Chain A
């Protein structure tokens, strides 16, 4: 398996624009996680899904953020409108749910100017 795939790897956008980050989990994994990492806040869990259903979205910072998982092989994290403080590296991870192991993607580095 290719591992968790994220796209794009880098995104630079202007304040106010919509940003969509994409993730393809490892096939057969029932859990999918979205994280954000910044120098100031470290690694933060934004939301996670189990069998395509959002289980815990308490980490989503505000209504500008939304995440979907329309099927077992695809998820999106959308920011609309984007702000400079959203600049961070966004990671997607998936897990088979056994032993809680999580496998991380390479991340998307988002810069909002």
Chain B
């Protein structure tokens, strides 16, 4: 079945790296996504990775994919207070249709 799991909370100090983890169960997913939700706003796509890749870097963001263990992580370097938000991972498929979202990880960045 389809299931995406995340830890609910993460707290870091400003300037540290944050690592948000996600596990999924459906090995047929084609794409894996990270979305960010700031307070009072909708979800905003941060980055995504094809399932045949194992790493993608985009400025301060690094996505690592371990397909064997069905484990996805998002690393934020030099975390800032503006990074405080809820981060959702999601899995999707090449033919479109719905995404399967995790329950979100609330990142709190302390000065």
Q: Let me know if B92 and A42 touch, CB within 8 A.
A: no
Q: 0/1 per residue, A1-45, Cβ < 8 Å to B?
A: 000100000000000000000000000001101000000001101
- What residues of chain A lie closer than 8 Å to B103, measured between beta carbons? 42-43
Q: 0/1 per residue, A33-66, Cβ < 8 Å to B?
A: 1000000001101001010000110000000000
Q: Let me know if B97 and A50 touch, CB within 8 A.
A: yes
Q: Does A86 make an interface contact (CB < 8 A)?
A: no
In-complex Cβ contact of A106 among B30, B42, B99 (8 A): B42
Bound-complex Cα distance A56 to B33 (A): 21
In-complex Cβ contact of B44 among A42, A45, A99, A104 (8 A): A104
Query: How many A residues touch the partner, as a band?
Result: 20 to 34
Query: How many B residues touch the partner, as a band?
Result: 20 to 34
Q: 0/1 per residue, A98-110, Cβ < 8 Å to B?
A: 1111111111000
Q: Does B101 make an interface contact (CB < 8 A)?
A: yes
- What residues of chain B lie closer than 8 Å to A56, measured between beta carbons? 98
- Least CB distance from A48 to B in Å reads 5
Q: Let me know if B98 and A103 touch, CB within 8 A.
A: no
Bound-complex Cα distance A93 to B44 (A): 11
Q: Does B88 make an interface contact (CB < 8 A)?
A: yes
Q: Let me know if B97 and A31 touch, CB within 8 A.
A: yes
Task: List 11 other contacts, CB 8 Å, given A42-B101, A43-B43, A99-B92.
Answer: A4-B42, A31-B97, A43-B103, A48-B97, A50-B96, A91-B42, A101-B33, A102-B45, A103-B45, A104-B42, A106-B42
Interface residues of B, Cβ cutoff 8 Å to A: 30-31, 33, 35, 41-45, 48, 88, 92-99, 101, 103-104
